[in-house]
Amino acid sequence: MLLVDHVPVTAAAAAASVWRQRALVEHEAARRFAALARGLAALGWHDLAARATAAADDERDHVGRCGAILDALGAAAPLPAPTGPPVPLGPATLAAGPRVLYAAVAIGCVTESLACALLAALAERAEHPVVARTVAAIQRDEVEHARLGWAVLARCAGEQDVAWLGAHVDAMRAAAVADDVAAGPGRADLAGFGVLAPAEVGAVVSATWGAVIAPGLARYGVSPPPPAGPGPRR
Amino acid sequence: MPTPYGQAMQLDRWFHVLVVMGGAAACDTATDDVRRDVPDALPTADDAGPADDASPADDASPADDAAASADAGDDLAPCFCDQGACCDRSQTPAVVAPGFACCWSTTCP
């Protein structure tokens, strides 16, 4: 059933633009989880690597689910796909082991944890069955993906000091918001299509960061540095 | 402005589901039996993670009935639960209603 039978075409087009962007994000997430799986396997953590491989498969499945919504919105077209190799996450100066941890935290603890909360909020607002089914299915996977990140962090923290990650937390959050959260069209009337208004997104992100992610990171000694002060007065 | 997702209980549940359970599972290093939502793959009290404030005995014990539902996958309807009861640690054992899958991907300790 075409959702556009029931809504203004402009709203459908706006929602479709978001779901098209999400398909691209899911593509990229699949590549990042695949890279994470390789990194974890290189560390000998094959159980976690297997979970990362499964996560990559999940993300590829999500691309198809996004496509189903685009079909329902009457916006069927070849889905975008990233080109070139995935961009490694984190500073180039990081060694291989720390880079795996950085990636796991950035992808799992930050991005996927935010996604879980946002999808939960979306689930409460989704009005159309195809959207509701898609949101529910994706969220179920994202829970596992987020937990994978927390698992990697916990295991690393059990072996070494991971406080150095604190210097990168703000950058991780900024990247997650930019990539996955702020792709909306700035409209407040698309929640039924799985697109929250920017103010709602901001509220969910802030609440989740403050109550879940930041204290979660702090459990392992990872805290962002305090904001820079105004500097010495002359 | 009230947040659409700002209820303290909801966020507390997310912390438990993601951070506590995710971190505790890290100490299960078996490679062959690690599966999602299967009680054997979940931690025991002896598998506590490095965080001192975790209480894994309370936080990570699986509920077999819920596991059976959660493991059944797409055959079951996704359930966003009775959020006043499911996964609420004050009402253990929480359950997933028959015929539904747990959207939290957990076994509702």
pLDDT, tens digit, 9 for 90 and up, residues B16-37: 888 988 887 776 543 333 333 3
Residue of B10, B34, B106 with shortest CB distance to A51: B34
B79 vs A54, which has greater pLDDT? A54
Residue of A46, A48, A158 with shortest CB distance to B49: A158
Read off the pLDDT of each residue in A171-176 and give the average, rounded to a whole number. 90
Cβ–Cβ contact A76 with B under 8 A: no
Cβ–Cβ contact A81 with B under 8 A: no
Hey, are the CB atoms on B26 and A133 less than 8 Å from each other?
A: no
Contact B36, A140 (CB under 8 A): no
Over 90: is that where the pLDDT of B57 sits? no
How sure is the predictor about A180, in pLDDT bands with cuts at 50, 70 and 90? low
- Between the alpha carbon of residue B16 and those of residues B3, B43, B64, B80, the distances in Å are 20, 14, 18, 16
Hey, are the CB atoms on B22 and A136 less than 8 Å from each other?
A: no
pLDDT given at position B2: 38
Over 80: is that where the pLDDT of A173 sits? yes
Contact B106, A146 (CB under 8 A): no
Over 80: is that where the pLDDT of B64 sits? no
pLDDT of A5-27, one tens digit each?
A: 555 658 888 888 888 888 988 99
- Beta-bridge partner residues of B77: B100
ipTM of the complex: 0.87
Q: How far apart are CA A224 and CA A78, in angstroms?
A: 41
Minimal CA separation from B101 to chain A, in Å: 9
CB contacts, 8 Å: A159 with chain B: none
- Residues in contact with A11: Cβ distance below 8 Å, sequence separation at least 6, in sequence order: A187, A189, A190, A193
Q: What is the pTM of this model?
A: 0.75
Half-sphere exposure of residue B39, counting CA atoms within 13 Å on the CB side? 11
A228 vs A196, which has greater pLDDT? A196
B10 vs A28, which has greater pLDDT? A28
Read off the pLDDT of each residue in A57-62 and give the average, rounded to a whole number. 95
pLDDT given at position A200: 86
- Beta-bridge partner residues of B101: B78
Over 80: is that where the pLDDT of A113 sits? yes
The residue in chain A having the minimum alpha-carbon distance to the alpha carbon of residue B26 is: A151
pLDDT of A64-90, one tens digit each?
A: 999 999 988 888 777 777 777 777 888
pLDDT given at position A6: 56
Q: How far apart are CA B25 and CA B60, in angstroms?
A: 9
Q: How far apart are CA B101 and CA B99, in angstroms?
A: 7
Over 60: is that where the pLDDT of B107 sits? no
pLDDT given at position A153: 97
Q: How far apart are CA A33 and CA A99, in angstroms?
A: 13
Cβ–Cβ contact B90 with A under 8 A: no
Cβ–Cβ contact B4 with A under 8 A: yes
pLDDT given at position A2: 54
The residue in chain B having the minimum alpha-carbon distance to the alpha carbon of residue A215 is: B15
How sure is the predictor about B104, in pLDDT bands with cuts at 50, 70 and 90? low
pLDDT given at position A51: 95
Average per-residue pLDDT for chain B:
48
Read off the pLDDT of each residue in A107-119 and give the average, rounded to a whole number. 93
Cβ–Cβ contact B36 with A under 8 A: yes
Cβ–Cβ contact A153 with B under 8 A: yes
CB contacts, 8 Å: A144 with chain B: 36, 105
Hey, are the CB atoms on B51 and A219 less than 8 Å from each other?
A: yes
